Amino acid sequence: MFISVILFIIPSKINLWCFGCNGSKGRPETPIPALLEWSVVQKKMPWGIVLLMGGGFSMAEATKVSGLSHWVGQQLIPLNVLSPPLIVFVVCVMTAAITEVTSNVAAATVLLPVLAKLAQSLEIHPLYLMLPATITCSYAFMLPIATPPNAIAFTSGKMKSQDMLIPGLFMNILCVGVITLMINTLGVLIFDLNTFPAWAMIPNSTFITT
């Protein structure tokens, strides 16, 4: 932010009056424009991307403050009837769907606290759910609004929504399958995800309802 403000102040040309200028009193006849002007910002700034990112962060904060993330975690408790690998698969599919309609950072901000509480409730290693969900937040291949690079490519005017939708769907299915396989093989081997760590335990291992 500070650098952006400085660009509006620094002149685009060094023209000091003490070294002589064209003005009658040794000063410039016309004001020297700054390195950055507001008219240029209005024309060149990709406001759609700014609103996309800002809206994602706002939604993440609203979800946290309103208690929606806590409520979502409670609704996911019935997943304990499934096997852990299937839970990971469901979480990855859900994350891939959410990250298509919001920014990656916002999706991670909303989902990770929910998954941490869910893992504690189900007595599953928190990393077993949070690691694949974090990586899946980057699987935004289908829609222009999913991530700024997608929006930039789409706004170039040379792509249609269906040009991203079909290949993106294939990539999502492939990547979700790969991450589910990797977390249940290398992930378990490296991070010892089959055990519930003591640092993740909470009193009574239940959610507190109000």
Distance CA 113, CA 206 (A): 15
DSSP letters of 21-50?
A: -SSTTSS-SSPPPBSS-HHHHHHH--HHHH
All residues at 6 or more sequence positions from 104 whose CB lies less than 8 Å from its CB, including other chains: 137, 138, 140, 146, 147
pLDDT tens digits, 28-61: 567 778 888 888 888 888 777 777 677 767 777 7
Q: How many residues does the chain have?
A: 210
Per DSSP, the three-state class of 123 is: coil
pTM: 0.68
Q: Which residue has the higher pLDDT, 82 or 147?
A: 82
